[in-house]
């Protein structure tokens, strides 16, 4: 903790008269004890803050589960819920065994960590168990994004394989590059930063959202669209709507709540003054980050509401929820280093990016039940570009350490170096995830481990793979019963 109490017995004894030395030693000893208590309290407060943030991020898994469940048809509800549970369970084990070490275990070449496997020799001087828990919650969030892209048609074993591989290897390598102090593109490097700055991705528009989105893109491309999603003749798009808008809205609000741990929590510490004796410190940056996160999401939601109204003629709650999440995914990279007004710009453009990506997906007959690749991949990429345009020099120096001549946002007069670093991050994330996850999904397909049979897909995986439907109807009205049966046949 900065501003530690200092005491010199030799200086103090000259002021105390008889028995001065003994008195000075005693006073300095007591002051030292008080100082140690303050240091202990600072560590406790910071760790408590980080643990609370980790709990919020983990709660996002419930949001993902509800969002996914509401976005698929009722006949696949149990399947998608189970995959969300296993993303957390399998991700927890593999991140403990391998992932954390690859991400933050320390390296000499900046590519991949090589220490602390299975948390050996842990905690360290720079990381405690709260930090591990927080980073695990991020890792399983990336896996949860991917599961939405390949929903309603994927074999269960494929979920287990890709989730373990993503959280144990693919995602940790990317987080090492951009978040570890010795990652080759990390802004936390003490020397030789990429373009003099390193790539700025504060809470993971690229590291989390693009990784999950690009992985889902390859999974959905290699699997192909769901049966009935596009007409065989002419390729006209047919909406296979999710069965519960209520679950979609519930999941969205849970994710919104969790994002206040995702973005502000990425500071990892709260008790850090920027200026000694000032009321302005890291707690102020945390509050500003919560505000920018909120404004981006709200702007994207409203832009999507009116944009989709103009395009389709409807006020669609599901589209608004996706727009809101797209705004959050975009601001995640720059939430701590931009002004609140810039967050409104971020959310506005994120909505347009999402609408455009969805239109392109429809033209190319790409099927993603949750729009995960478009939302997390497309809006995440825009979020990285946004930082290169709007990052403020003052906030960069506060969050990443003061550096003379640090590049900042192009539109604020900071030159193009930061934007160049952001574009490099986009390219390497797309390349790395494509090379690893694309190859994995291709191998799974060749081994007939990826997609379920057409019969199982038509009947629904809840009945064919999980022993029964998620919902049991008890309705004594004969007409209502016949209507339910007809709905099941049509599905």
Would you call 160 exposed, middle or buried from its count of C-beta atoms within 10 A (0-12, 13-18, 19+)? Answer: middle
Of 135-139, 160-164, 299-303, 398-402, least confident by mean pLDDT is 398-402
pLDDT at 133 over 60: yes
- C-alpha dihedral (428, 289, 301, 212), degrees to nearest 10: 30
The domain locations on the chain are 52-454
> For the domain with range 52-454, which CATH number is right: 3.40.50.1110, 1.10.3430.10, 1.10.3470.10, 3.20.190.10?
1.10.3430.10
- Tell me the average pLDDT across 421-436: 98
Question: What average pLDDT does the segment 353-373 reach?
Answer: 95
Report which of 42, 91, 50 is spatially closest to residue 266, judged by C-alpha positions.
Answer: 50
Q: What are 314-334's pLDDT values in tens digits?
A: 899 999 999 999 999 999 999
Instruction: Give the per-residue pLDDT at 476.
Output: 46
- pLDDT confidence of residue 25: 61
Which residues lie across from 205 on neighbouring strands? none
Comparing 11-20, 84-93, 136-145, 177-186, which segment has the lowest mean pLDDT? Answer: 11-20
**Paired tokens of 156:** 């269960």
Summarize the confidence of residues 248-261 as an average pLDDT. Answer: 97
**Does residue 256 carry a pLDDT above 50?**
yes
Number of Cβ within 10 Å of residue 374's Cβ equals 26
Secondary-structure breakdown of the chain: helix, strand, coil percentages, each rounded to the nearest 5:
70, 0, 30
C-beta separation of 174 from 435 below 8 A: no
Asked if residue 162 lies in contact with residue 440, where contact means CB atoms within 8 angstroms, the answer is yes
pLDDT attached to residue 441: 97
Percent of the chain with pLDDT over 70: 88
Confidence of residue 490 (pLDDT cuts 50, 70, 90): low
Q: What DSSP assignment string belongs to 127-184?
A: --HHHHHHHHHHHHHHHHHHHHHTTTSB-HHHHHHHHHHIIIIIHHHHHHHHHSTT-T
Instruction: State the pLDDT at residue 1.
Output: 47
| Contact of 156 with 167, CB cutoff 8 Å | no
Q: Is the dihedral of CA 481, 487, 490, 491 positive or negative?
A: negative
On the question of pLDDT at 238 being above 90, the answer is no
Average pLDDT on 116-130 reads 92
| Predicted pLDDT at 477 | 46
Predicted confidence band at 113 (pLDDT cuts at 50, 70, 90)?
A: very high
């Amino acid at each position: 903790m900065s501003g530690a109490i200092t005491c010199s017995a030799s200086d103090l004894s000259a002021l105390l008269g008889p028995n001065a030395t003994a008195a000075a030693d005693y006073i300095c000893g007591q002051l030292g004890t008080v100082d140690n208590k303050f240091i202990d309290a600072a560590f406790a407060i910071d760790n408590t803050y980080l643990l609370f943030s980790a709990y919020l991020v983990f709660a996002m898994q419930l949001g993902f589960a509800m969002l996914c469940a509401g976005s698929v048809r009722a006949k696949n509800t149990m399947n998608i819920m189970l995959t969300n549970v296993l993303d957390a369970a399998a991700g927890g084990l593999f991140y403990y065994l391998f992932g954390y070490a690859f991400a933050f275990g320390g390296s000499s070449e900046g590519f991949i960590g090589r220490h602390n496997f299975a948390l050996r020799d842990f905690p360290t001087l720079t990381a405690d168990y709260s930090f591990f828990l927080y980073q695990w919650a991020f890792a399983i969030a990336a896996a949860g994004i991917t599961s939405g892209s390949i929903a309603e048609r994927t074999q269960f074993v494929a979920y287990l394989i890709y989730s373990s591989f993503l959280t144990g290897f693919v995602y940790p390598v990317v987080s090492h590059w951009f978040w570890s102090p010795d990652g080759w593109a990390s802004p936390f490097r003490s020397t030789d930063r990429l373009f003099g700055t390193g790539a700025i991705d504060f809470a993971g528009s690229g590291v989390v959202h693009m990784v999950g989105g690009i992985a889902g893109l390859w999974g959905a491309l290699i699997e192909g669209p769901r049966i009935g999603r596009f007409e065989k003749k002419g390729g006209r798009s047919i909406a296979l709507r999710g069965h519960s808008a209520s679950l979609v809205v519930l999941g969205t609000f849970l994710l919104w709540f969790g994002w206040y741990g995702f973005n502000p929590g990425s500071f990892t510490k709260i008790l850090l003054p920027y200026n000694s004796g000032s009321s302005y410190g890291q707690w102020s940056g945390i509050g500003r980050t919560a505000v920018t996160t909120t404004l981006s999401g709200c702007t994207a939601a409203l832009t999507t509401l009116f944009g989709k109204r103009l395009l389709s003629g409807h006020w669609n709650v599901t589209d608004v929820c996706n727009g809101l999440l797209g705004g959050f995914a975009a601001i995640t990279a720059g939430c701590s280093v931009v002004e609140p007004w810039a967050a409104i710009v971020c959310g506005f453009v994120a909505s347009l990016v999402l609408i455009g990506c969805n239109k392109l997906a429809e033209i190319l007959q790409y099927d993603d039940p949750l729009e995960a690749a478009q939302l997390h991949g497309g809006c995440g990429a825009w979020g990285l570009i946004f930082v290169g345009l709007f990052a403020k020099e003052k906030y960069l120096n506060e969050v990443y350490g003061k550096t003379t001549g640090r590049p900042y946002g192009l539109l604020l007069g900071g030159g193009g170096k930061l934007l160049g670093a952001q574009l490099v991050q986009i390219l390497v994330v797309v390349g790395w995830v494509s090379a690893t996850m694309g190859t994995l999904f291709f191998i799974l397909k060749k081994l007939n481990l990826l997609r379920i049979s057409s019969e199982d897909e038509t009947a629904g995986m809840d009945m064919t793979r999980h022993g029964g439907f998620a919902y049991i109807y008890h309705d004594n009205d004969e007409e209502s019963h016949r209507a339910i049966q007809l709905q099941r046949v049509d599905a």
